[in-house]
Amino acid sequence: MDELRQRAKKLLGSLNIEEKRKGVRLIEAQSSDPSFWQDQKSAALKMKELAGLQKEISDVEKLKELISNNNLRQAKKLIEELEVLIYLSDLYDLRPAIVSIHAGQGGVEAMDWAQILFRMYTRYFERKNWSFEKLDETLGEEVGIKSTTLSVNGKYAYGYLKGEAGVHRLVRLSPFNADKLRHTSFALVEVMPDLGEEEKLDIKEEDLNWEFYRASSKGGQNVQKVSTAVRLRHKPSGIVVTAQSQRYQAQNREYALKLLKAKLWLLKEEERKKEEQKLKGGYKTPGWGNQIRSYVLHPYHMVKDLRTGFETSNTDAVLNGEIDGFIEEELRKF
């Protein structure tokens, strides 16, 4: 009990509940202004933030009650849940996330692996009660996906998902080979915060090159007949993004700008981290060549994170979205 009390005391100090109470009062005051509801999307995000803050405050009050009543089992469970929030204190951790999955070399095998990862993550989002929508997708010629980009809206979405960035490796018996040979496939996962409208980046209109074309993804006759898809190139950085999931060009333009903004932020963040790590020498860009997790389905079953050492033999559960253990272990490193 003494240990639990000490953990609870440390936790209560770290969560800064008074600041969260101020946040609740601020959003409640903003929501009383009729202009607050003119932008329905922004208002919905704010109300979700309000609900999250209220839940944290409620959980803290509940923890105090459990500790005072010596309810050890429930107190321990709630402490473990709240402790994760301590590791989600970086500036952008609270933001929604933009997640991209890219198939590596290997043709059909790699595109099928990218599709499996897409299913794994979307199952995880559903378990967290997060909403998501596709910003862009390029399907494989036969099966799977070459790449897909998702906007993920949930409290601490970026904070939870940022450690998933990197190369994911699959080893299995090939379902596409008549001889059922063992095959290794790779896919790259990128994770960026959705910066929203309040984050200002210096993007000049003259630095943008817009192209419009007919979408290749499924989306009805309107998508196929009209140049609704968008390709956007940022001339100074060379970054190119595409968006083609929506029926209307205007929304795809909006999504392309959102994605460009996130990629420019990521570029700046990687440069910052490189500078910080020059003396330490440990920084790796989460790109090709930097494998973070191995999923082995043959000759044995094992998913292992190569950074934390966390592993499980329950590969079916992992590929169904039960990746909380991997995410929480990685969070403790941030």
Domain final residue pick, 71, 86, 101: 86
- The confidence score (pLDDT) of residue 286 equals 62
Listed in sequence order, the residues at least 6 apart from 140 whose beta carbon sits closer than 8 Å to its beta carbon are: 103, 108, 111, 112, 115, 146
Which of 68-82, 118-132, 251-265, 274-288 bottoms out in mean pLDDT, i.e. has the lowest? 274-288
* C-alpha to C-alpha distances, 193 to 100, 142, 241, 269, 314, nearest whole angstrom: 12, 32, 16, 11, 30
| Cα of 140 vs its chain's centroid, Å | 23
Domain final residue pick, 20, 53, 86: 86
Token digits for 82? 């709240």
User: Which CATH number does the domain housing residue 115 bear?
Assistant: 3.30.70.1660
Residue 225 clears pLDDT 70, i.e. is over it: no
CA distance 223 to 173: 38
Longest alpha-carbon distance in the chain: 69
Listed in sequence order, the residues at least 6 apart from 6 whose beta carbon sits closer than 8 Å to its beta carbon are: none
Residue 168 clears pLDDT 60, i.e. is over it: yes
Greater pLDDT, 190 or 270: 190
Which of 144-148, 162-166, 169-173, 288-292 bottoms out in mean pLDDT, i.e. has the lowest? 288-292
Residue 220 clears pLDDT 70, i.e. is over it: no
Identify whether residues 228 and 268 lie together within a single domain. yes
- The confidence score (pLDDT) of residue 4 equals 81
CA distance 137 to 142: 15
- The confidence score (pLDDT) of residue 134 equals 93
CA distance 145 to 213: 20
Identify which of 290, 225, 213, 287 has the alpha carbon closest to the alpha carbon of residue 252: 213
The mean pLDDT of 246-263, rounded to a whole number, is 91
Token digits for 176? 């596409």
Identify whether residues 66 and 167 lie together within a single domain. no
The mean pLDDT of 295-309, rounded to a whole number, is 96
Identify which of 137, 131, 169, 165 has the alpha carbon closest to the alpha carbon of residue 151: 131
Token digits for 44? 């919905």
Residue 224 clears pLDDT 60, i.e. is over it: no
Helix, strand or coil for residue 167? strand
Identify whether residues 106 and 64 lie together within a single domain. no
User: Which CATH number does the domain housing residue 6 bear?
Assistant: 1.20.58.410
Residue 222 clears pLDDT 60, i.e. is over it: no
Residue 193 clears pLDDT 60, i.e. is over it: yes
Identify whether residues 47 and 181 lie together within a single domain. no
Identify whether residues 182 and 257 lie together within a single domain. yes
Identify whether residues 72 and 188 lie together within a single domain. no
81-138 confidence digits (pLDDT tens):
788 777 887 888 988 999 999 999 878 999 999 999 999 999 999 999 999 999 999 9
Report the first-to-last Cα separation within the chain, whole angstroms: 29
Token digits for 101? 């999955």
> Please, what's the b/e burial string for 81-107 (b: 16 or more CB within 10 A of its CB; e: otherwise)?
ebbbbebbeeebbbbbbbbbbbbbebe
Nearest-5° Cα angle at 144, 142 to 148: 130
Q: What is the pTM of this model?
A: 0.78
How many domains does the chain divide into?
2
Token digits for 213? 């074309």
Residue 76 clears pLDDT 90, i.e. is over it: no
Identify whether residues 73 and 99 lie together within a single domain. no
194-205 confidence digits (pLDDT tens):
987 766 677 889
Identify whether residues 333 and 283 lie together within a single domain. yes
Identify whether residues 179 and 284 lie together within a single domain. yes
CA distance 155 to 129: 10
- The confidence score (pLDDT) of residue 147 equals 95
Token digits for 79? 């402490």
Residue 22 clears pLDDT 80, i.e. is over it: yes
Task: Please give the residue range of the domain that contains residue 134.
Answer: 93-334
Listed in sequence order, the residues at least 6 apart from 4 whose beta carbon sits closer than 8 Å to its beta carbon are: 67, 72, 75, 76, 79
Strand partners, 120: none
Identify whether residues 82 and 105 lie together within a single domain. no
Identify whether residues 178 and 153 lie together within a single domain. yes
Residue 69 clears pLDDT 50, i.e. is over it: yes
- Residue identified by tokens 């989306």 is 219
238-254 confidence digits (pLDDT tens):
999 999 888 889 999 99
The mean pLDDT of 26-48, rounded to a whole number, is 88
Identify whether residues 79 and 101 lie together within a single domain. no
Domain final residue pick, 86, 116, 146: 86
